[in-house]
Chains A and B, each alone.
Chain A
């Protein structure tokens, strides 16, 4: 395959990765890795490098829009980044001693059940209940909707923090963004509106991925010939995605897309675990 052909195929695939990644807060790795390894027969090391670049591009590209619109809860993101970055570092150290394929299968099952749980919620809940810790940490916020600004409180900070720590460890162990678990932690445990959860997850995944990217850069995983179409495609897709999300009235269908995408990620992970690829 020539450079031009490869570039065009990756460009198109990356556009959809960026689009779905920015809508769901998951990053776009779940499309990039199978596209590169299964379809284009690229070695897994290069694929992991390119996928990491796609996560950073999705995060920065869409976060720029979400932060400007005031949907992202910056303080919450910052606070939880302590857990995700520390967790990721611990996970990367643990990965040296752990048979990761069992963890991949287990985590895949956790993901599927959490995707189903997130679908069951009929109505967008916003809790006005403010916990003591949320007030101390100044985490309660507001976000713009079609019906005007909605105030929301944040509950169960400690539970959310530890789920984030777990999400970080998983991402360090398996080398994935684990955005899914971040969204579940904020939406399900801390009772934050879904739109705020996905955009804040988007905001956070770039930071953890940047730390990994420096390490991968030194190991030679990040090849410019593959990263080039990934960056351009993902950014265009993320911009389209953030426009759609900002202008959409309901988050019901985002939940559906989220559940479908998370299930796809989970199946991938279980498959990789069983075949011993993780």
Chain B
């Protein structure tokens, strides 16, 4: 009984990871097509750190995506990719609750809290 439920969680987590990965790669590739079509022969310069342009920042990325900026769309895909492991952890928490494995539901929740704490305070490895 326990075993069966565990494989269910495994299947669900595998699905979350695959969907997240394919979705983000799809979005990245779409943005890449626009970016390379427009800027493919531009010269690159990453020698000095200038940060990223405003339309690629977290705050401006949605606007940049709507105006079909290639780089903003790529960044949107990257954000999806970053969200995937976090969504995976959230899904396992739900899975453990459904399995009535409250010890692991608690452990998973604790991990989620630590992740969000380090994101919000800016102290991350």
Residues on A facing B (Cβ under 8 Å): 1-4, 6-7, 36, 40-46, 53, 56-57, 59-61, 63-64, 67-68, 70, 74-75, 78-79, 81-82, 85-86, 88-89, 91-93, 137-138, 168, 171-173, 175-176, 206-215, 217-220, 222-228, 231-232, 235
**Chain B hits for A223, CB < 8 A:** 46, 52, 56
Report the Cα distance A212→B81, complex, angstroms. 13
Q: Per a CB cutoff under 8 Å, which of A42, A74, A88, A211 touches B10? A: A74
Residue B62 is within 8 A (CB to CB) of chain A in the complex:
no
Q: Quick one: given A85-B111, A88-B125, are A70 and B74 in contact (CB under 8 Å)?
A: no
Q: Per a CB cutoff under 8 Å, which of B17, B71, B124 touches A172? A: B124
Q: Quick one: given A70-B7, A78-B104, are A225 and B35 in contact (CB under 8 Å)?
A: yes
Report the Cα distance A171→B125, complex, angstroms. 5
Overall SS of chain A's interface: helix
Mark out the residues of chain B between 6 and 24 whose CB falls within 8 Å of any chain A CB in the assembled complex: 6-7, 9-11, 13-14, 17-18, 20-21, 24
**Chain B hits for A78, CB < 8 A:** 89, 92, 104, 107-108, 111
Most buried by A among B41, B89, B124: B124
Docked-complex contact A232 and B28, CB < 8 angstroms: yes
Residue B115 is within 8 A (CB to CB) of chain A in the complex:
yes
Docked-complex contact A91 and B82, CB < 8 angstroms: no
Docked-complex contact A64 and B14, CB < 8 angstroms: yes
Q: Per a CB cutoff under 8 Å, which of B46, B47, B58, B118 touches A218? A: B58
B27 CB, nearest partner CB in chain A, Å: 10
Docked-complex contact B124 and A211, CB < 8 angstroms: yes
Report the Cα distance A41→B45, complex, angstroms. 9
Q: Quick one: given A60-B85, A64-B17, are A4 and B10 in contact (CB under 8 Å)?
A: no
Most buried by B among A68, A138, A232: A68
Q: Quick one: given A43-B47, A206-B85, are A224 and B74 in contact (CB under 8 Å)?
A: yes
